[in-house]
Amino acid sequence: MVPFVVLVLGIAACPLLIPRLWGTHATQMLFVLFCASPVIAFLFHTGHADHLRDAAVSYVSFIVTIGALYVTASGIYVTGDIEGTPAVNVAFLLAGAVLANVIGTTGASMLLIRPILRTNSQRQRRSHVVPFFILIVANAGGLLTPLGDPPLLLGYLEGIPFLWTLRLFPYWLLYVGAIAAAFFVVDRRAYATEPASAKMRDRAEAVPLRLQGRRNIPLLGALVGAVLMPPGFREAAILCIAGISYRSTPRGIHEQNSFSLGPIVEVAILFAGLFVCLAPLEFNLGRSASTLPLRHAWQLFWGSGALSSVLDNAPTYAAFTALARGISAGPDLVAGIEPVKLAAVSIGSVVMGATTYIGNGPNLMIKAIAERAGYDMPSFARYALFACTVLLPIHALTTTALMLLDR
């Protein structure tokens, strides 16, 4: 199990400690091989090669789906600069929360971050806008479908029904609604103190929003249908849709979105190692779950959430679902897990990825885009303090609900 821990810690720490060296795919591949090779050798030596086969099948489905969402969503670009009022900003956040469940938190973030930055570019009191955007669009918004966030997609590929996550709607509504309400209060107070000259300039420079790359909208709908197809047919259909999107999207739209295949190549490299190293971890956690102190849904919620705050939330989700499977019992199980425990791991892994910049992939990308656009972004510690201040009261309500349901 040690290579998995080394790999996850390396993914979290290396971009901060050695950013230039880590930024090359060659370095990432060498690190993944260093961690994965002992596990591969061990599984073959002990006669558990079937674990590798299962991991390879899940990995291909995962990367194909994530890659197709990334490619297709990158073929859509929103132009324009409307007036940056509190109501408009809340509408952006709520639209992103809905879109995240169709094109993923990464897709929704990349689609809407530039329009909301342009919309608020004339304002002086705007430093809170992007941090709230990260909380809702890049994280909590993707709680309703397997397409919303990588952990939920991983669960779907491991046997959790596609529509099961719709049962998390009350929690989605709680988080999105509470964060949006908090944002509205903060933004309304900030907007009230905006200089009159800034407001006049904002109205004078307003340009209606316009959608480019509309041909990719039906392709996104087709992706949702393709994900529901049987294995094999699913991957083939998804690849075809992604290919059509890539070939039919004008180069100008890709350039406006700063599109490249680099990010998805990096995801493919790192997750190859994670899927290999997860096999013994899931097996051992399932067997030893009864001896561990984590027994209740609220503990799984905080455990998976705390690790998702500082590590990649997809492998954290996989580890904790394996643990939940080992302590689950009863007739009404979902992929071998009690529904309340599965809900706890799902919510914790998704929403607590917003706690730090490294909790979920889109967080750092949004920060970088905002800084290039001239926005002042909080430091790592200040952002974590902000996120905890907003999220902890909502986490407390979720904890209470899980305790009541897990009696």
For the cut 90, the answer to whether the pLDDT of residue 20 exceeds it is no
CA distance 87 to 184: 8
Condensed to tens digits (0 to 9), the pLDDT of residues 21-45 reads 888 889 999 999 999 999 999 988 8
Condensed to tens digits (0 to 9), the pLDDT of residues 61-96 reads 888 988 888 899 889 998 888 999 999 999 999 999
pLDDT value of residue 32: 93
Query: Of 286, 343, 355, 278, whose CA–CA distance to 314 is shortest?
Result: 278
Condensed to tens digits (0 to 9), the pLDDT of residues 235-262 reads 999 999 999 999 999 999 998 888 888 8
Condensed to tens digits (0 to 9), the pLDDT of residues 141-150 reads 999 999 999 8
**Residue 98 contacts residue 220 (beta carbons within 8 Å):** no
pLDDT value of residue 400: 97
The boundaries of the domain holding residue 122 are: 2-405
CB neighbour list of residue 50: distance below 8 Å, 6 or more residues apart: none
pTM of the predicted model as reported, rounded to 2 decimal places:
0.85
Amino acid code (one letter) for 245: S
pLDDT value of residue 277: 86
Query: Of 304, 305, 307, whose CA–CA distance to 324 is shortest?
Result: 304
**Residue 389 contacts residue 355 (beta carbons within 8 Å):** no
**Average pLDDT along the chain:** 89
Number of domains in the chain: 1
pLDDT value of residue 402: 96
CB neighbour list of residue 353: distance below 8 Å, 6 or more residues apart: 139, 149, 308, 309, 313, 359, 360, 363
The model's confidence at residue 164, banded by pLDDT at 50, 70 and 90, is: very high
Which tokens go with 182?
Answer: 């908090």
Which tokens go with 214?
Answer: 């509309």
For the cut 90, the answer to whether the pLDDT of residue 263 exceeds it is no
The model's confidence at residue 101, banded by pLDDT at 50, 70 and 90, is: very high
pLDDT value of residue 295: 83
Query: Of 89, 109, 113, 99, whose CA–CA distance to 182 is shortest?
Result: 89
CA distance 305 to 355: 9
Tokens 């993944």 locate to: 32
Condensed to tens digits (0 to 9), the pLDDT of residues 327-373 reads 888 888 998 999 999 999 999 999 999 998 878 878 878 888 888 88
User: How many whole angstroms from its chain centre is CA 16?
Assistant: 20
DSSP per position, 192-250:
HTS-HHHHHHHHHT-EEEEEE-TTHHHHHHHHHHHHTSPTTHHHHHHHHHHHHHHHHS-
